């Protein structure tokens, strides 16, 4: 399945089982990053007007060992620890950067060919995702690159493609997804097309490009973007966006081991603000499979990454509107009873068409939320497929709640990024249609 | 010399071939450079204005009053010395740590505060960009962009445009600033190559301050710094002690003269040291010892070196220093306090300037969509009401 990669692993590197014994990923400790990056989570209290869920209190997060081990689709990659029904698996409280770090540690310890690199990666990365890895696995495997996305973005990407073309595992970090564009050529013209152009003889399935994405409320034009939509036309690549620590670890390990190059976009506000009990064993979560987070029958609310939490808040405002929104003009009584189905798309390319269509055929209504601008966004592609496949089942037009088609202006961000009220309004309009 | 094992020379020599010796660094501050009192004082005073602003703006960021900030600590001589070597109408393409060029050109404290606060006086970005992303056509200072190094090939184009403009040909050049980190981007190489082959009067000014966030210069390149790359592109090159304001001044003066006279580029590598953290998002003691920073401040302080020069000539003393510091402190604080009270640009500016000419249908429709939402909810939904109040006219033009 990995073609070149597997060949290289057996011929040049010690086998996986030998390496497994080397494992032992330590907790993400070390120096704390005292500053906050411009784009880093700085959580605001929930808006006035009611006890609304925030990321910290979100029900979408699995904060007990029991619920964590029941994450749908979770596939253990190691033997059970004990004969008990849950396999004796342990979990540990982690935020999302710690979970990413945990996954990277496992990738490094289970695959001798794996290397992790990018700008400022050696000291731990500006978002702390590579803390202590250089000390643990050595500077040959965890290293800084010169500032050249054209390599890792293009430079970083090109270099990673070279490693992957030799069957090795290259895990690159682009410091911000806003800076992935210098690598666009290497990713779109090279990584996505190498398998096809070589008649299947070469591939760069070993390449995974991690990059922090989405807004934090004060990042402005170049620390807020959600560029996933730009890659929709680059089949050959996969694009994945996790929503939480458990998801980040499982989806990242799946991405690293997937036989295709993957762009793994980590919503940066969630690095610190989302916290879960994360299984410490090696496990994966499936790519190209959406997850239904809340079952419902009247309207499908579809998104990925940070807006999931905004959607959760909007759903709670719909069922029990804060006093100021209780007028019939705002949230009519009928609408409050609506059962909303909340879906995390998780993989953007290739997306889980069957799962989405199954849901919309049941609910008859679809609202898609994303932070990127509306025109040419991921929502456009999904809406087109849904209208084709669910035409007669639709009770209302597919609605998109997105960023506007402008750059992300710093002082205007609160009115740029879809917030709970805009999502609420879209749901009410779609239910009333 | 910071970040280089270069020997020091007082002879200004531009080279276009690399010998097997380490490239020497030119300096004049310890020699007898010809320089007038008023001009020398202006250099020192503008250099000193940088920390006066940096200290206040760094601290107000810490208090959450602005979203971000980057200081020039340690690089005052490189930035002000180079600005002083230019004509004020030369086009400047900055990276982000070059606020001093604007100060040299008379950009006001209110304008600095306006940009950093994103208030209605931020004519440079209308509150759209993060702090320190200045821009002012009146000051021939092109608006800063966060993606690194994009300004470098653009500068080759700007220089070429100057050459083609009869009114500016032979009078102006472009000055492009970048860090040694940004010089690793492909855009640096493209920019140097284009300027050299096409003949663009552009001065490439590298602030080699030893760090790109946490990455030390030693992990950025394996050759002899940035200067060694110039000859490969056929670009006249000099390395200068970037903490010596007068050496920087002289090198830039000569580089600009040559660039304009010959319609050719010049590369200057100014070696200096980033005394501050990379930005307010960074804690540099996670990757360099505090003592290293303290040492640099003591042993190679550009402000102190320039002050000693002035004092040696009898042009400066403790009283002048005290008077200046007090004045700056008051002026900077007053400007900040004033800026803090001003509102943002009108909310409608969210949708303008995406295109020139008529606004296309999709943006009009989106503006109308936001407008309808605001009409419906802004009176009852407290978070929106509060946010709207921050804009000039409380968002009236959208309602
Ligand atoms: C294309 C791109 N990649 C990454 C970044 C993130 N970033 C901002 S500043 C910086 C370091 C730049 O260092 P250097 O050019 O040496 O300038 P200095 O900050 O030292 O003045 C990085 C990596 C960016 N802004 N743009």
| Residue A3, domain member (yes or no) | no
Residue pair A362/A425 in contact by the 8 Å Cβ criterion:
no
Alpha-carbon distance B41 to B109, whole Å?
19
Residue in B65, B117, B148, B372 to test binding to A, most A beta-carbons within 10 Å: B148
Query: What integer pLDDT is reported at residue B9 of this predicted model?
Result: 73
**For residue A376, what is the domain's CATH number?**
3.40.50.920
Q: How remote is the C-alpha of B139 from its chain's centroid?
A: 13
- Please check whether residues A179 and A158 belong to one and the same domain: yes
Q: Are A377 and A225 in contact (CB under 8 A)?
A: no
Last-in-domain residue among A231, A257, A284: A284
Tell me, yes or no, if A181 comes closer than 8 A to chain B by beta carbon: yes
In a domain, A28, yes or no: no
Domains of chain B (ranges; CATH) run 8-339 (3.40.50.970), 347-395 (no CATH)
The pLDDT assigned to B5 comes to 73
CA nearest ligand 1 atom 19, residue: B212
Q: Is B194 a residue whose pLDDT tops 60?
A: yes
Residue B352 to residue B337: CA distance in whole angstroms: 29
Whether A142 and A258 map to the same domain: the answer is: yes
Determine whether the interchain pair A410/B118 forms a contact, defined as Cβ–Cβ distance below 8 Å.
yes
Give me chain B's average pLDDT, please.
94
> Among A264, A284, A304, where does a domain finish?
A284
Q: What pLDDT shows up at residue A129?
A: 96
The residues of A carrying an active-site annotation are: 149, 223
d(CA A143, CA A170): 12
The complex's ipTM works out to: 0.88
What pLDDT sits at residue B320?
A: 98
Longest Cα separation, chain B: 74
Same domain, A345 and A255: no
Instruction: Decide if A173 contacts A125 (C-beta within 8 A).
Output: yes
Kindly report the nearest CA distance between residue A177 and chain B, in angstroms. 11
**Distance (Å, rounded) from C-alpha B45 to C-alpha B62?**
26
pLDDT value of residue A157: 86
Integer Cα distance of B90 and B24 in angstroms = 28
Q: Got the DSSP string for A164-224? A: HHTT--EEEE-S-GGG-GGGHIIIIIIITTHHHHTTTS---TTEEEEEEES--SS--TTSS
Question: What gap in Å lies between CA A286 and CA A383, rounded to an integer?
Answer: 23
Query: Do A232 and A318 sit in the same domain of this protein?
Result: no
Asked whether residue A406 is assigned to any structural domain, the reply reads yes
Is the pLDDT at B33 greater than 80? The verdict is no
Q: Are residues A273 and A228 in the same domain?
A: yes
User: Which residues have C-beta within 8 Å of that of residue A220, sequence separation ≥ 6?
Assistant: A38, A408, A409, A410, A413, B67, B128, B129, B130, B133, B146
A48 touches chain B (CB under 8 A): yes
pLDDT of residue A35: 35
The interface residues of chain B toward chain A in range 92-131, judged by CB-CB distance below 8 A, are 118, 125-130
- Phi, then psi, of B258 in degrees rounded to 5: -65, -45
pLDDT at res. B13: 82
Contacts of B282 in chain A (CB under 8 A): 35, 37, 126
Q: Where are the beta strands (DSSP E) in A17-83?
A: 75-76
pLDDT at A47: 41
Residues B249 and B81: beta-carbon distance below 8 Å: yes
One domain, residues A209 and A314: no
Task: Say yes or no: A321 and A229 in one domain.
Answer: no
Q: What span, in angstroms and rounded, lies between the C-alpha atoms of A325 and A203?
A: 54
Q: Is residue A201 part of a domain?
A: yes
- In this complex, do A48 and B186 lie within 8 Å of one another by their Cβ atoms? no
Residues A427 and A390 occupy one common structural domain? yes
Domain final residue, candidates A284, A309, A328: A284
Q: What's this model's pTM, rounded to 2 decimal places?
A: 0.89
Nearest CA-CA partner of A431 in A380, A400, A387, A395: A395
- DSSP helix/strand/coil, B328: helix
Nearest one of B25, B78, B103 to B207, comparing CA atoms: B78
Residues of chain A with pLDDT under 50: 1-50, 152-153
> Inter-chain contact B67–A124, Cβ cutoff 8 Å?
no
Residue, of B275 and A145, whose pLDDT is higher: B275
Classify residue A143: in a domain, yes or no.
yes
A9 in any annotated domain: no
What confidence tens digit (pLDDT) does each residue in B156-182 have?
999 999 999 999 999 999 999 999 999
Q: What CATH number does residue A198 fall under?
A: 3.40.50.970
pLDDT score for A1: 34
Q: What is the CA radius of gyration of chain B?
A: 22
Distances (CA, A) of A87 to A76, A84, A91, A105: 10, 5, 12, 22
Task: Judge if A76 and A187 occupy the same domain.
Answer: yes
Query: Taking a C-beta distance cutoff of 8 angstroms, is the pair B25, B4 a contact?
Result: yes
A126 has a chain B CB within 8 A of its CB: yes
Whole-number pLDDT of residue A7: 38
pLDDT at B200 over 80: yes
User: Within this chain, do residues A370 and A404 fall inside the same structural domain, yes or no?
Assistant: yes
- Using a CB–CB cutoff of 8 Å, tell me whether A140 touches chain B: no
How confident is the model over B78-112, as pLDDT tens digits? 999 999 999 999 999 999 999 999 999 999 999 99
Q: What is the mean pLDDT of residues B279-304?
A: 96
The helix (run of H) or strand (run of E) holding residue B248 is: helix B245-262
Atom from ligand 1 closest to the CA of residue B183: 15
Do residues A296 and A256 share a domain?
Answer: no
Question: Smallest Cα–Cα separation from A402: which of A384, A376, A428?
Answer: A376
Residue A304: give the domain boundaries.
Answer: 291-432
**Domain contains A134:** yes
Q: Say if A401 falls within a structural domain.
A: yes
Residue B74 has pLDDT above 70, yes or no: yes
Bridge partners (DSSP) listed for residue A149: A153, A155
Residues A275 and A304 occupy one common structural domain: no
Structural domains counted in chain A: 2
Residues with CB under 6 A from ligand 1: A 119, 147, 149, 175, 179, 182; B 97, 146-148, 178-182, 207, 209, 211-213, 274, 278
């Amino acid at each position: 399945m990995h073609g070149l990669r597997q060949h290289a692993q057996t011929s040049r590197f010690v086998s996986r089982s030998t390496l497994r014994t080397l494992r032992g990923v330590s907790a993400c400790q070390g120096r704390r990053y005292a500053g906050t990056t411009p784009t880093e989570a700085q959580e605001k209290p929930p808006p006035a007007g009611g006890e609304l869920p925030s990321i910290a209190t979100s029900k979408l997060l699995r904060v007990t060992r029991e619920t964590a081990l029941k994450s749908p689709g979770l596939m253990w990659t190691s033997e059970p620890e004990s004969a008990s029904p849950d396999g004796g698996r342990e979990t540990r409280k982690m935020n999302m950067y710690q979970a990413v770090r945990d996954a990277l540690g496992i990738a490094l310890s289970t695959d001798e060919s794996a290397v992790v690199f990018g700008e400022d990666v050696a000291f731990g990365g500006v978002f702390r995702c590579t803390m202590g890895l250089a000390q643990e696995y050595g500077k040959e495997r965890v290293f800084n690159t010169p500032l050249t996305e054209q390599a890792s973005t293009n430079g970083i990407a090109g270099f990673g493609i070279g490693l992957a073309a030799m069957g090795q595992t290259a895990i690159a970090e682009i410091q911000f997804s806003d800076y992935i564009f210098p690598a666009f050529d290497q990713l779109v013209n090279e990584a996505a097309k190498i398998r096809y152009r070589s008649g299947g003889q070469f591939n760069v399935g070993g390449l995974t490009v991690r990059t922090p994405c989405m807004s934090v409320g004060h990042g402005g034009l170049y620390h807020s973007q959600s560029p996933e939509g730009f890659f929709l036309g680059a089949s050959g690549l996969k694009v994945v966006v996790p929503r939480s620590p458990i998801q980040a670890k499982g989806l990242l390990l799946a991405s690293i081991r997937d036989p295709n190059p993957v762009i793994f976009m980590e919503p940066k506000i969630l690095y610190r603000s989302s916290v879960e009990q994360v299984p410490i064993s090696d496990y994966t979560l499936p790519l190209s499979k959406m997850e239904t987070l809340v079952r419902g029958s009247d309207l499908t609310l579809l998104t990925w990454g940070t807006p999931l939490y905004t959607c959760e808040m909007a759903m709670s405002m719909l069922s029990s509107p804060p006093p100021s929104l209780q007028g019939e003009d705002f949230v009519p009584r009928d609408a409050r009873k609506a059962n909303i189905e909340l879906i995390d798309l998780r993989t953007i390319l290739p997306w889980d068409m069957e799962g989405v269509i199954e849901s919309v055929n049941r609910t008859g209504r679809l609202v898609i939320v994303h932070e990127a601008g509306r025109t040419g966004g991921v929502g456009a592609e999904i809406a087109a497929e849904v209208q084709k496949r669910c035409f007669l089942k639709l009770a209302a037009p597919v609605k998109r709640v997105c960023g506007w088609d402008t750059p992300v202006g710093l002082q205007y961000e609160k009115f740029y990024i879809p917030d709970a009220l805009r999502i609420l309004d879209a749901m009410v309009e779609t239910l009333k249609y | 010399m910071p970040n280089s094992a270069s020997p020091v020379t007082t002879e200004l020599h531009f080279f276009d071939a690399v010998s097997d010796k380490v490239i020497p660094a030119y300096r004049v501050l310890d020699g007898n450079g010809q320089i007038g009192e008023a001009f020398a004082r202006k250099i020192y005073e503008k250099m000193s204005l940088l920390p006066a602003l940096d200290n206040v703006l760094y601290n107000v960021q810490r208090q959450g009053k602005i979203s971000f900030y980057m200081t020039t600590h340690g690089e005052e001589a490189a930035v002000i010395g180079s600005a002083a070597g230019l004509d004020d109408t030369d086009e400047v393409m900055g990276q982000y740590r070059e606020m001093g060029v604007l100060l040299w050109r008379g950009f006001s404290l209110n304008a600095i505060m306006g940009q950093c606060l994103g208030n209605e006086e931020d004519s440079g970005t209308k509150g759209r960009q993060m702090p320190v992303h200045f821009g002012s056509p009146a000051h021939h200072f092109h608006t800063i962009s966060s993606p690194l190094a994009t300004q470098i090939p653009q500068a080759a184009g700007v220089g070429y445009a100057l050459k083609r403009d009869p009114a500016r040909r032979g009078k102006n050049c472009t000055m492009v600033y970048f860090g040694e980190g940004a010089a690793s981007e492909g855009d640096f190489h493209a920019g140097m190559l284009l300027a050299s082959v096409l003949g663009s009067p552009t001065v490439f000014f590298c602030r080699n301050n030893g760090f790109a966030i946490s990455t030390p210069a030693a992990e950025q390149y394996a050759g002899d710094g940035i200067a060694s790359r110039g000859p490969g592109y056929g670009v006249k090159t000099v390395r200068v002690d970037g903490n010596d304001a007068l050496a920087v001044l002289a090198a830039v003066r000569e580089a600009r003269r040559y660039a304009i006279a010959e319609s050719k580029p010049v590369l200057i590598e100014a070696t200096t040291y980033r005394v501050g953290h990379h930005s307010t998002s960074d804690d540099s003691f996670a990757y360099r010892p505090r003592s290293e920073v303290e040492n640099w401040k003591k042993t190679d302080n550009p402000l102190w070196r320039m002050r000693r020069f002035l004092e040696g000539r009898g042009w400066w003393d403790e009283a002048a220093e005290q008077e200046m510091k007090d004045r700056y402190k008051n002026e900077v604080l007053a400007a900040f306090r004033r800026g803090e009270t001003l509102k943002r640009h009108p909310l409608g500016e969210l949708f303008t300037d995406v295109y020139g000419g008529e606004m296309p249908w999709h943006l009009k429709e989106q503006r109308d969509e936001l407008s309808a939402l605001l009409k419906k909810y802004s009176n009852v939904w407290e978070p929106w009401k509060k946010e709207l109040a921050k804009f000039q006219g409380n968002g009236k033009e959208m309602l």
